[in-house]
Amino acid sequence: MFAAIFSTTPSPGLDQALRQAGVRPIPVQDVAAMVDQEPDEGWSLAAIEVAGDPTVGLALARRVHDEAIAPVLICAPRSAATALADAVCNDFVLTPVDVDELAVRVSRLIHRNPAVSDEVIGFKELSLNLATYQATLGSEPIDLTYMEYELLRFFATHPARVWSREQLLSRVWGYDYFGGARTVDVHVRRLRAKLGEERASWITTVRSVGYRFG
């Protein structure tokens, strides 16, 4: 597993905690570099160290989250704690970090919901493994980004009901997400393409309202 670290010189505590959680840290300069350097198996985590002006790091965290490349973990000094109220991320930790605590947080982000490790959501020939975040159509795996998987999982667990774009933003991206409705449209378009022509109709557009799955 690999973690993209947005820091030219990652703090020893962060580097150690990631390795302790079984993740190989790779420093990247920006989002473009994260995309260019993405390993074949994808990124398991994006760790962003906030230093100096917190608005810079928080803006970066928002962009990584919006691009839905990987779960976002922010590492910020205690002096920036109040700024984290508006942060868009999956988790955060204050520095100086406790290595054991950070390792646990990293592990929880990567291996979400361990209590449902055997639970699999199925819809027709679609299968979503909640423990491994793997999606398959029949026996073929689907290469989904983190947020594409989250959206498809939400659809599959709430079939037949119509959801507005605003509801999907709130339920899938989170109440603290300030992205526009176009984010939903983009992810739906990507999901339809990855489901294939025969199954794209699983996600139905309800005019002037939103989307329905199933």
CATH number of 2-110: 3.40.50.2300
Domain ranges within the chain, ordered by starting residue:
2-110, 115-213
Question: Using CA atoms, how far apart are residues 132 and 112, in angstroms rounded to an integer?
Answer: 8
pLDDT tens for 86-101 read: 778 888 888 777 777 7
Distance of CA 99 to the CA centre of its chain: 23
pTM of the model: 0.49
The domain made up of 115-213 has a fold known as: Arc Repressor Mutant, subunit A (1.10.10)
| Greatest extent of the chain over all pairs of C-alpha atoms, in Å | 53
Question: Using CA atoms, how far apart are residues 137 and 144, in angstroms rounded to an integer?
Answer: 12
Q: What is the pLDDT of residue 97?
A: 75
Residue holding tokens 């490790």? 117
Residue 133: is its pLDDT beyond 60?
yes
pLDDT tens for 8-43 read: 667 777 788 778 777 888 888 777 878 788 887 778
Q: What is the pLDDT of residue 118?
A: 46
Q: Tell me if 66 sits within 8 A of 40, measured CB to CB.
A: no
